[in-house]
Amino acid sequence: MAPTGAHREARKMVRAKRISDVVAGAVVVAALFVGTAHANTITIFKADGTTVAGTLTDGSLNVTFQGFTALNTLSSTSAITTPQQSNSNPDTEAAVLNSRAGTSFATVTQGPSNPANPLIVSSLYFMLKLDGPNTGWAVFKNLNGTLSLTYNEIGTASGLSHVSTVGTVAAPGPIVGAGLPGLLAACGGLLALARRRRQISV
């Protein structure tokens, strides 16, 4: 027995509904992730707090490190260098770090001169020694473990001399709410599947 016009129309409606469910699901998933599409980039200012020396980024969608702008003051978007000092040895740099982070380290580990990108850092604290007038050390705190960073000099007299590191990063724990987008997407998929099964059985 050939399907009637009513049956054909019902099948078309079921197909159209399936397509709209798939499109709606894709829109929901896209909306959940579009809002977070930004890199973890910190603008580094010279000691005057207004002249930009460069940027430091790891390309991550999450905040994986922060910069110090003053004593015990962290920022996810900027860091302000300390004033330039003539002596740059591990003990002097530890004192600079302590003046920003409120820590009490006796020394730091200095990396090689004029390092190339990417800068691999796995310590709790790290400092970029920048060359030039009114530029000293940009101090950062690592929030995530091993970082692969890119330093970009902006303007002149802000070249990277070396990176100094100290401290151990604790293993990152689960982030509250990190699984929420996936959970919402899964629930949306189950809802679409249930709706489809209900319509097929009718």
62 located within any domain:
yes
The pLDDT assigned to 29 comes to 46
Whether 16 maps to a domain, the answer reads: no
The pTM score is 0.66
What pLDDT is attached to residue 7? 66
Q: Residue 12 phi/psi, 5° resolution?
A: -60, -40
Task: Return all residues near 176 (Cβ < 8 A) that are at least 6 apart.
Answer: none
- The parts of the chain modelled with pLDDT lower than 50 are 27-37, 175-178
Find the domain containing 89 and state its range: 41-168
pLDDT for residue 78: 94
Domain count, the chain: 1
7 inside domain? no
**CB contact at 8 A, 135 and 81:** yes
Is position 148 within any domain? yes
C-alpha to C-alpha distances, 33 to 17, 37, 65, nearest whole angstrom? 25, 7, 21
Q: Is residue 144 part of a domain?
A: yes
pLDDT for the residue numbered 131: 82
Q: Which amino acid belongs to residue 95?
A: A
For residues 58 and 64, what is the distance between their CA atoms, to the nearest angstrom?
A: 8
Residues forming beta bridges with residue 57, ordered by sequence position:
41, 150
- Residue 32: phi, psi to the nearest 5? -70, -30
What was the pLDDT predicted at 119?
A: 94
The pLDDT of residue 34 is: 42
Q: pLDDT per residue over 69-93, tens digit each?
A: 999 999 999 999 988 877 789 999 9
Residue 190 confidence (pLDDT) = 67
